[in-house]
Amino acid sequence: STTNISSVTTAVIMKHRRVKRVYMLRTSPYGLRKQNDV
pLDDT digits (tens, 9 = 90+) for 1-38: 677 889 999 899 888 888 888 877 777 776 566 655 65
* pLDDT at site 20: 82
The residue type at 25: L
What pLDDT is stored for residue 36 in this prediction? Answer: 59
The predicted model scores a pTM of 0.41
Number of structural domains found in the chain: 1
Distance CA 22, CA 4 (A): 27
Measured distance CA(14)–CA(20) in Å, rounded: 10
User: By residue range, what is the domain housing residue 6?
Assistant: 2-37
Nearest by Cα to 2 from 16, 21, 10: 10
Query: What length does the chain have?
Result: 38
